[in-house]
A = this chain, B = another copy of it.
Amino acid sequence: MKRKVTLKQIAKELDVSISTVSKSLRNSPEIGVETREKVQAFAKFYNYKPNNIALSLKNRKTKTIGIIIPEIVHHFFSTVINGIEHVANENGYSVIICLSDDSFDKEVLNMEMLANGSIDGFIMSLSKETQFKADFHHITEVINQGMPVVMFDRVTNEILCDKVIIDDKSAAYEAVQSLIDKGRRRIALVTTVDYVSVGKLRTDGYVKALLDNGIPFDEELIIKIEDVETCEITISQLLEDKLIDAVFAVNELFAVTIIKTANKRGLKVPEDLAVIAFTDGIISKYSTPTITTVSQSGAKMGNKAAQILIDRLENEDENEDENYVTEVIETHLIERESTD
């Protein structure tokens, strides 16, 4: 077991000073060619690699990005991480990931932990509980300490920082409009409870599309699901009572459950019931029938978020004027079998 070699050890072996070794390895012209080559050869032989922690302490930058997300077992968030990771890696950054499990306390704890020198900046999506409590002091604090934060998807207007989002409202509008274009009139919305910012925006888009098309907006066609496990009953009732001919679901889990429930009740998708889901994921692609979705390119969001953060990190001194950007990622409808 040969432990990693340090500058100190090389210096001792070669009987030169640590400074000389350090400079030689960075190939500084300050040092004589002969010495430089000797040191470099020796270092190469012993596979010397500088210690990241020491560099971090010295440079006061870690070259790592902290990611805080509600959960990872979720196709959308995985694709975002994927997107972040690739851009980060290309730029010599690592990513360190913490999960809030949609809990406010875990989110705060994790942020505090990472903020104490472990990372250079954050990319995050708010936990449900944080959105519900609307308590963002932990984020403000981090920003006040001069650490850049980029929020994506589940963001809040109460914090000023860079953001990467999709236009949830207009994407929802587009989806509903497409249903209307196909002659559907009784369109239900299956959504989550209101305090999740994106849920509210999608509802707004839904309502606007209806009204713009002169379709009366019926409060009873909006179903708010608290818990995925129990949603089947709620959905069953919706199908039973309301004579609907289309559903816009705010995620694909709801959508696939709707399709299965409809099938059980003898309704055919898309003939009797058209279904569109928000967020294109693995389920929609492999469900039977496959589901038309609003693609919400997680990879692109991740790329963009990482790019923005890194840009800010690398130009920290230059533009201290904080002109925060809000990047809106394009969405588009992926037409599949669940709409005709």
Contacts and interface: CB of A to CB of B under 8 A. Distances in A.
B82 A51 contact: no
B96 A95 contact: yes
Contacts of A50: 116
Given A117-B53, A146-B1, A288-B260, A73 B79 contact: yes
Contacts of A3: 145-146
A196 to B, nearest CB: 21
A114 B93 CA distance: 11
Q: How many copies of this chain?
A: 2
> Quick one: which of A1, A86, A112 has the most chain B CB within 10 A?
A1
A45 interface: no
B73 A94 contact: no
Contacts of A113: 52, 94
Given A94-B114, A146-B3, A82 B57 contact: no
Contacts of A308: none
Interface in A55-103: 56-57, 62, 64, 71-75, 78-79, 81-82, 85-86, 89, 94-99
B53 A57 contact: yes
Interface string A150-179: 000000000000000000000000000000
Contacts of A47: 141
A144 interface: yes
Interface stretch (A27-35, A124-132, A213-221, A279-287): A279-287
A236 interface: no
Contacts of A53: 53, 56-57, 62, 117-118
Contact of A144 (B1, B75, B263): B1
Contacts of A75: 73, 75, 282
Interface string A173-215: 0000000000000000000000000000000000000000000
B99 A97 contact: no
Contacts of A97: 81, 85, 95-97
A301 to B, nearest CB: 13
A2 B79 CA distance: 35
A277 B231 CA distance: 27
Given A94-B114, A145-B2, A288-B263, A78 B82 contact: no
A56 B58 CA distance: 13
Interface of A: 1-4, 47, 49-54, 56-57, 62, 64, 71-75, 78-79, 81-82, 85-86, 89, 94-99, 106, 110, 112-118, 141, 144-146, 253, 256, 259-260, 263, 282-283, 286-288
Closest 6 CB pairs of A and B: A288-B288, A51-B117, A96-B96, A53-B117, A73-B78, A52-B117
